Amino acid sequence: MHIKLNKQVLTRCLDIVEKALPIRTAIPAIDNILFECTEQALIFTATNMEIDIQVKLPHFGGDNFSILFPPKIVHIVRYLPETDVDLHFRRDDYRIEVNSGQTNYVLFGADPAHYPIIQTETTTEHFLTFDQPLFKKVLKTTVFSASTDESRPAFNGVLFHFNDNHLNIIASDTYRLTMKNMEIEDELKKFTEKRSLVPAKSLRELLKIIGDEGLLLISPGTKQVIFKFDDIYFAARILEEKYPDISGVIPRKHITRMFTDKKTFEDTVSRASLLAEGINQIIHFIIDESSLVVKVSSQIGKMEELVLGRYEGDNVEVLVNSKFVLDILKVMEQKEIMIDFHGKNGPLVFRAPGDPTYLYLVLPVKME
């Protein structure tokens, strides 16, 4: 059996499914990539039992055939010459001959009989529709707040709360929290209220392959959340942990409010962070007489800078983790930001003016 593919197309397919290959596993078959040829498509599949990724490439007139690619094929194809790639398969012993220009490889594939079945067929009425670039932006501005501490498994997930005609996405590591409320049209009304706790590490992999145009479909199931876009199927297993109620965490009223240029503020905090030390990377915000001063003092030295903007409310001083502040400033695209302060030991809440659907909350380093 013989198939010829454009090198860039083949590289893209393998690069995408590679993200679901396990680092280590007790199931030998899933160390490999499942390749299937049908009469209408070439199908590449990988799973680590936490996420499943499948890419379908239209290809008409092929024979029905399947084989397990060794994972090394991803790197081999990536470094092939920029010409078409010829793949020759031997059905009797699962050998794969890879030819490109003057380069020739013989790889030892495997029998796909023991590869787990990935169920990818879901009826369209069970999907919600989003713009890919919009959903990509939502993930980019929420997922980073989830915890990477494996001892707190609930906070390793991002909560997808489907309720009425809204999808609320929440991520937190207990020191900070991001929340985005997405309003949906008629599609969401087909679902009853559902909470799906999706592993943040799965969503980080999803974020790497979502495009900048087209539609993305989401289907919340009982054991996994399915995402479909372009020719890609991506399924993430749901965590069984219970996510805590965060409704009482977000203050209803601010004491002090600040509006300022996002880029200017980011540059100031970046400069202050160069002298911040310790696990908390502490810097000092002081609002006094309608001005904000950013200060830092450590064994390395001292720094102080005035930030111009508009201020309202009481004077306030607060210590904050400079990394947590920079994390949100790096992903917000608005030119102006709004920050609400709630006293010296209260949280800081970052928003984009005019957008009540998104917020980022940071707990301060408590002042004695």
Residue with tokens 């007139």: 61
> Would you state the pLDDT for residue 39?
87
Residue 52 CB burial class (10 angstroms; 0-12, 13-18, ≥19)? buried
Contact predicate 95/107, CB 8 Å: yes
> Would you state the pLDDT for residue 188?
47
Q: Is pLDDT at 200 greater than 80 in this prediction?
A: yes
- 256-362 to CATH, choices 3.30.70.1230, 2.30.110.10, 3.10.150.10, 3.30.420.40: 3.10.150.10
> Would you state the pLDDT for residue 184?
78
d(CA 105, CA 117): 29
Specify the CATH number of the domain 125-237.
3.10.150.10
Q: Is pLDDT at 282 greater than 90 in this prediction?
A: yes
Task: Note whether 2-114 and 125-237 share their fold.
Answer: yes
Q: What percentage of the chain reaches a pLDDT higher than 90? A: 79
> Would you state the pLDDT for residue 121?
65
pTM for this predicted structure = 0.91
Instruction: Read off the pLDDT of residues 205-252 as tens digits, 9 standing for 90 and up.
Output: 999 999 999 999 998 888 999 999 999 999 999 999 999 988 889 998
Instruction: Read off the pLDDT of residues 11-45 as tens digits, 9 standing for 90 and up.
Output: 999 999 999 999 988 889 999 999 999 988 999 99
Quote the mean pLDDT of the chain: 92
Domain ranges of the chain: 2-114, 125-237, 256-362
Q: Is pLDDT at 75 greater than 60 in this prediction?
A: yes
Q: Is pLDDT at 347 greater than 60 in this prediction?
A: yes
Report the CATH architecture of 2-114: Roll (3.10)
d(CA 306, CA 195): 44
Instruction: Read off the pLDDT of residues 114-161 as tens digits, 9 standing for 90 and up.
Output: 999 887 766 556 788 899 999 999 999 999 999 999 888 999 999 999
